[in-house]
Amino acid sequence: MRVQVLTIFPELFAPFLRTSLVGRAIEKGILEVGVHDLRDWTEDRHRSVDDEPYGGGGGMVMTAPPWLRAVRGLSGETSGENPEGRPWRILLSPQGARLDDAKVRELAGRGDLILLCGRYEGIDERVRATVVDEEVSIGDYVLSGGELPALVLIEALSRQIPGVVQLADSVEQDSFRNGLLDHPHYTRPPVVEGLAVPEVLLSGNHAAIRRWRDLEALRATREKRPDLLERPEVRARLTKEQARALDEMERT
Ligand code: 4GX
């Protein structure tokens, strides 16, 4: 999978992309990330990318022409795995559809991507109208630019590419894999400030451990994110034992 990023702050990306899981995916060639300076597609002496808003008001707006040249210039570079024959173009903005586990999986299946990272008050609407396939938001708060959202998306995507996550089933059993939150985790030492590790985790009884984790995942979800348990597709994926336990919890 190849992800191309368009930004006026390309230097923000390198240290993150070198690190950890994403860094290893890139090293292995499973993931390719190209970061491009939007100013490389400007044509004036000052390499300017913004101007005053028509209609007045504060702030500046990014002008359309560099974006159109850049996105179209990069669109020829696709590995051919895209259904559309060109990369899928995503604008990061608070106006987008909220990023969640389902959206990450969907985008991981889109083939190559181009991520547009805007700054200032936004980008001339005609960019969205002509060269953007989809707007994505990482949450209902306002940032100063699309760069951190792009990194969030790249990291989440990288975990969905086969061969990226080391432990065979750590994604499989991940939080959200079955629509529930994760169960609690423990490691040494066995007692911390008087709090002992649950006995079952030391028992070596793997069936019992799996049952305990399933029930703790359910308990955590009911306590912290009860909204998730209202989704029919989540309820449908509960184990028999989880369904029975939830029934019990809901009757008390
Ligand atoms: N999830 N921002 C983008 C500038 C902008 C505005 C409109 C294009 C269109 C954000 C978020 C986010 C702030 C990134 C405004 N660019 N992006 N930027 N939340 O807040 O994705």
Token digits of residue 22? 């994403």
Residue 107 vs residues 55, 161, 198: alpha-carbon distances, Å: 36, 11, 38
54 in contact with ligand 1, CB cutoff 6 A: no
Total-model pTM: 0.95
Given strand 88-98, what is the order of strands in its sheet? 32-37, 2-7, 113-117, 88-98, 134-137
* DSSP 3-state of 123: strand
Tell me the one-letter amino acid at 43: E
Give the confidence band of 198 by pLDDT, cuts at 50, 70, 90.
very high
- Catalytic residue, chosen from 53, 65, 94, 184, is 94
Structural element, H or E, at residue 43: none
Q: Give distance in angstroms: CA of 5 to centre of ligand 1.
A: 14
Q: Give distance in angstroms: CA of 90 to centre of ligand 1.
A: 12
Residue 44 vs residues 39, 47, 65, 66: alpha-carbon distances, Å: 10, 5, 11, 10
Q: Is 66 a catalytic residue?
A: no
123 in contact with ligand 1, CB cutoff 6 A: yes
Res. 134: pLDDT tops 60: yes
The pLDDT value given to residue 169? 54
Task: Collect all residues with Cβ–Cβ distance below 8 Å to 142 and sequence separation of at least 6.
Answer: 94
Res. 75: pLDDT tops 90: yes
Alpha carbon distance 144, 152 (integer Å): 15
The pLDDT value given to residue 96? 98
